[in-house]
Amino acid sequence: MSALRFIDTHAHLDDPRFDGDRDRVVERARSGGVGTIINVGCWNRDNAFDGLHPILERYDLIRCALGVHPHDAKDVEDHAPFVLIRRLLERENSIWQERTVAIGETGLDYHYDNSPRDVQREVFRQHISLARALNLPLIVHSREAEKDTLRILEDEGAGEIGGVFHCFSGGLDMARRVLDMGFYLSFTGVVTFPNARKVHEVVRNVPVERILLETDCPYLAPVPVRGKRCEPSFIVHTAQKIAELKGLSLEDVARITTINAEDLFGLGSGPREVRIAYRIRNSLYLNITNRCTNYCTFCAKFKSYTVKGHYLRLKEEPTFEEVVRAVGDEPERYDEVVFCGFGEPLLRLDLVKKVGMYLKKRGCRIRIDTDGLANLVHGRNVLRELMFVDCISVSMNAPDSETYQRLVKTPFGDRAFPAIVYFLREARKFIPKVVATVVAVPGLDVEACRRLAEEEIGVGFRVREYNEVG
Ligand code: SF4
C-alpha cells in the first residue's frame, strides 16, 4: 500500500472497457494511494447515468460529477438531463446527494464538432445555471474553443461558482485567465508526453496550489504506460512528471494536489491538522508564530493559511518542547531546517536561539527567513546572537524606502528600510550566507533591487515568484 495519497479528479470507470475487471482496477487504485476517484458521469440519449449508480454503490471511494458532454449537447431536449440531475440530487439521503461533488463535464469541443456550436454554447450556459443553483463547482471541457469558453464563463459570472478546466491543454495566457477567474487547472497523462511542451510551460509557471491531477481514464495513459487502457493507479506517473517540472518531491505534489481537490470539491473531513514542522522537498520548515511586524500587500496568508499543502494557522504559539517534538528524531536527515512559516520568526528570538542551538548540536544546517526588522523590534543588534545560523534570507522587497513602505505597510515607517539595509550589512559579519529577497510584484524594479543587494550591500539576491510560497 502506497504511503502517498492522491485524488483522481476525472475518471470514467463506468466505461464498458472496465466491465471485465473493474474490481481489480479499483483495488490497484487503492493500493497505489488513490483515496478518492471522481467519476465523471456523462448523460446521453441511451444512458442517463444508469451505469454509474451500481458503481457508486459498490465502491465507497468513488464520488461523481453529472453533466452532458459537449459531444452530446445536440440530444438535449426540453432540459431533460438537467431536470433529471435536479431530481436525483433532491432525493433526501440518496447516494446521488451524498456523492455528487460537481457539475460536468461541460463546455465546448470545436475539434470534433459533434454537436452544432450554437447548441454547445447554449447547453454550456444551462450547466452553469444548474451549478449555481446546486452550489456545486463546474468541470469544464474546452477543446479548440478557448475564446468562447472563457467568454461564456465570464458572461455568466462563473468565477463565483468555481471549478476546474479538465485536461488543460491551452497556453500560458489562457491558464492565467482561468486562474484569475478562480478556477483550477487539471492535468492528465499528456503532461508526461515528451512533445507536450506547451503543457510543460504552463505547469512550470502556474502555482501548484491551483493544480489538480486526473487520469481521464480509460483515455490518455501516461508514459511509461502510454497506449494502454488508462486507469486511476497510473496517476502516480502524472504526479511524478509535475514534481519534476515544479522542482518538488512526489510526496509534495501528492499532498498539495489532494488538498486542492478537497478544497474545490468539498471532500475534506474535519478540521485540518496544524503543522509546527513541515517538510517541502527535503527541507524542514518550522512554523513558530503567525505574528508579523509588517502587513505585506502581497502576503499569501491573507488568502489562505495553507502552504504547499500544509496548514499553518496556529491556535497557540508552540513551546520549545512542542517544536522539538514536531521536528522528530532525526532532524539531521534534512538538507536544512528553516525558521519560516506564516509569521516573523525573529519576533520569538529567544525560542529561535534555543531551538537553533539544539538543532545545531544535532548537526543540522540552519536557515532563517526574516523581514530583517529584528534590530528595530528588539532595540539592539541581534545578529551577534545568531552565529549558529548558516544562512539568512532577508525580505528586502524594494529598492528604496518609499516603495518598501507602500508594499509592506510597515509600522516603522521610514526607519524600516535603512534598518534592513543595515541588517543585511551586519549579517555578513556573523552568518556565512546572506541573501536579500524580493517578491516579483508587478511593477517592481527588480533590477534596481538586484543592484542594491549585490553591488552596494554585497549579499546574494533572489527573486521570489509572486503568489508562490514555500
Ligand atoms: S512578513 Fe511574510 S508572513 Fe508577514 S505579512 Fe509579510 S509576507 Fe506575510
DSSP letters for 92-148: TT-HHHHHEEEEEEEEEETTT--S-HHHHHHHHHHHHHHHHHHT--EEEEEES-HHH
pLDDT confidence bin for 305, thresholds 50/70/90: confident
Q: Work out the pLDDT band at 216, boundaries 50, 70, 90.
A: very high
For residue 300, give the ligand 1 atom closest to its CA: 8
Nearest CA to ligand 1 atom 6: 296
**Residue listed under C-alpha cell 492565467:** 176
Residue 268: pLDDT band (50, 70, 90) is confident
Q: Which residues line ligand 1 (CB under 6 A)?
A: 292, 294-296, 299, 301, 342-344, 371
Q: Are strands 460-464 and 283-286 parallel, antiparallel or unpaired?
A: unpaired
Nearest CA to ligand 1 atom 7: 299
pLDDT tens digit sequence for 14-23: 999 999 999 9
What's the confidence (pLDDT) of residue 57?
A: 96
Residue 291's pLDDT is what?
A: 94
Distance 298 CA to ligand 1 centre (A): 8
Distance 378 CA to ligand 1 centre (A): 18
At residue 467, the pLDDT reads: 57
Averaged pLDDT for residues 38-57: 93
Atom of ligand 1 minimally distant from the CA of 290: 3
Name the residue of 290, 340, 344 whose CB sits within 8 Å of the most ligand 1 atoms, as the mutation to test its pocket: 344
Backbone angles phi, psi at 254, to 5 degrees: -60, -50
Mutate to test the pocket of ligand 1, among 292, 420, 437 (most ligand atoms within 8 A of CB): 292
pLDDT of 470 strictly over 70: no
Q: pLDDT at position 172, please?
A: 95
Give residue 468's pLDDT: 59
Dihedrals phi, psi of 11, to nearest 5 degrees: -140, 160
Distance 353 CA to ligand 1 centre (A): 21
Please tell me the predicted confidence (pLDDT) of residue 101: 97
pLDDT of residue 469: 56
Q: What is the pLDDT of residue 299?
A: 87
Cis bond upstream, residue 345 (ω within 30)? no
Whether residue 271 has pLDDT greater than 90: no
Q: What is the CA angle 382-398-455, rounded to 5?
A: 80
3-state helix, strand, coil in the chain (%, to 5): 45, 20, 35
For residue 344, report the distance from its CA to the centre of ligand 1, in Å: 7
- Inform me whether the pLDDT recorded for 466 exceeds 70: no
Per-residue pLDDT at 342: 87
Which of 294, 307, 312, 466 to mutate to test ligand 1, by most ligand atoms within 8 A of the CB atom?
A: 294
What cell numbers appear for 295 in the block? 502587513
C-beta of residue 339 within 8 angstroms of C-beta of residue 326: no
Task: Compute CA distances 144 → 70, 169, 199, whole Å.
Answer: 13, 9, 15
**Mean of the per-residue pLDDT values of the chain:** 95
pLDDT digits (tens, 9 = 90+) for 345-362: 999 999 999 999 999 999
Q: Residue 20 C-alpha to ligand 1 middle, in angstroms?
A: 54
Tell me, what's the pLDDT at 382? 98
Counting ligand 1 atoms within 8 A of each CB, the residue from 285, 293, 299, 408 with the most, and so the one to mutate, is: 299
Residue 150 has pLDDT above 90, yes or no: yes
Using a pLDDT cut of 70, give the percent of the chain over it: 99
Which ligand 1 atom is nearest residue 371's CA?
1
pLDDT exceeds 80 at position 377: yes
Residue 218 CB coordination number (10 Å): 18
Lowest mean pLDDT among 24-33, 267-276, 305-314: 267-276
**Atom of ligand 1 minimally distant from the CA of 301:** 8
pLDDT surpassing 90 at residue 173: yes
- Write down all domains in the chain, each with its CATH number in brackets: 6-265 (3.20.20.140), 277-464 (3.20.20.70)
The residue whose CA is least distant from atom 8 of ligand 1 is 299
Average pLDDT score over residue span 429-438: 98
Average pLDDT of 428-445? 96
Ligand 1 centroid, distance to 163 Cα (angstroms)? 29
